[in-house]
Amino acid sequence: MRISSNEYRNASLMGIMSAYQRMGQASTQLSTGKRISAPSDDPVGTAQALTLQNHLDNLDQSARQLNVAKSFLGATDTALSNVGDILRQARTLAVQGGSTSLTPGARSSLAQQVDSLIQTLGSAGNTQYGNRYIFAGQRNDKAPFVANQGGFSYQGGTAAGNDGALQVGVSPQNSMTINTTGDVAIAPALKALTQLRDSLNSGDATAVSSDSIQQFDTQINNLSTLRADIGSRINSVTGALTQNGAIKLNFTQSLSDIEDTDIPNTVVQYQSAQLAYQAALQSTSRIGQLSLLDYLK
């Protein structure tokens, strides 16, 4: 059975096209660094890559939320540290004001210093993180502590009103409250300061030396408990971020295994296709040079 020159030529052209296509595919993979440039390259791999990318997107969103939560908690802890400084200053003034030997003028001077601390504490209660008031609960678009005659009133969210807690997901199954409301963290301290100022103004040394000092000791201890709880929550968020990063690293590696080009193997494929392409060209060239006598042999 003889094969015609057209059949030889068509077979050679098919070989050229196949080798050229394989060269182009390998070249694209080498230049882009990606094994899959279209779903048709690997339908199963494409589906797996889309699933992994969706997981990675969710992890990135979770990491952003966790970082905001960590910063929010850090800002809260810094504000409460400032509140602690105010309470300790107030306690020192209470010790001084409890002396029965103080003149009315001296007590009035101490009362003015306490009033200044009240203003400072009210400002601390209106601390913001970004555009949110950190002690306002869910009503964090407005300052929670509003100045009134002689002090401040709290108008933020509360646990009793079901608008106190700000929560963030730390895992697919668990969430965490990241805030402390001002009615718990600030208002009791403001009340203690206000009572101290009023007792000093009225000259009630007994109330200053007994009630006020005890109140400040209680508030300082309560504040330490709050800060310890916040520190624990910061550690939990940090742990969640570490876990998030580890999972992301694994998913990223799996995605790379599916999508990325195996450079050494692809170089070999390119060289093999190049050799096949050159051989097909030479074969086609020889077909074009064949004479009638060559076909009659």
Which structure tokens are listed for 128?
């913001």
How many residues can be counted in the chain? 297
- Segment among 95-104, 213-222, 259-268 with least mean pLDDT: 259-268
- The Cα 81–Cα 79 span in angstroms is 5
The residue ranges of DSSP E strands in the chain, in sequence order, are: 128-129, 132-133, 145-148, 151-154, 167-169, 175-177
* pLDDT for 57: 94
Please check whether residue 285 lies inside any domain of the structure. Answer: no
Q: Is the pTM of the predicted complex or chain greater than 0.85?
A: no
What is the tens place of the pLDDT at every residue in 35-90? 666 677 778 888 888 899 899 999 999 999 999 999 999 999 999 999 999 999 99
- What stretch of H or E contains 135? none
What is the tens place of the pLDDT at every residue in 128-159? 999 999 999 999 999 999 999 889 999 999 98
Please check whether residue 31 lies inside any domain of the structure. Answer: no
Please check whether residue 88 lies inside any domain of the structure. Answer: yes
pLDDT for 277 beyond 90: no
Please check whether residue 271 lies inside any domain of the structure. Answer: no
pLDDT for 290 beyond 60: no
Instruction: Say if residues 26 and 271 touch (Cβ distance below 8 Å).
Output: no
User: What's the number of domains the chain is made of?
Assistant: 1
Higher pLDDT, 6 or 227: 227
Please check whether residue 211 lies inside any domain of the structure. Answer: yes
The Cα-based distances of 244 to 55, 172, 176 in angstroms read 11, 11, 16
- What stretch of H or E contains 41? none
Which structure tokens are listed for 22?
């394989």
SS3 150: coil
Which structure tokens are listed for 198?
């009023």
Secondary-structure percent of the chain, ordered helix, strand, coil, rounded to 5 = 70, 5, 20
Short-list 150, 129, 152, CA closest to 140: 129
Please check whether residue 259 lies inside any domain of the structure. Answer: no
Q: Which domain holds residue 237?
A: 68-254
* pLDDT for 97: 93
Instruction: Say if residues 99 and 120 touch (Cβ distance below 8 Å).
Output: no
Please check whether residue 58 lies inside any domain of the structure. Answer: no
Would the CA dihedral through 184, 186, 187, 189 be positive or negative? Answer: positive
The Cα-based distances of 127 to 8, 69, 133, 142, 172 in angstroms read 84, 16, 6, 11, 31
Domain at 120, CATH number:
1.20.1330.10
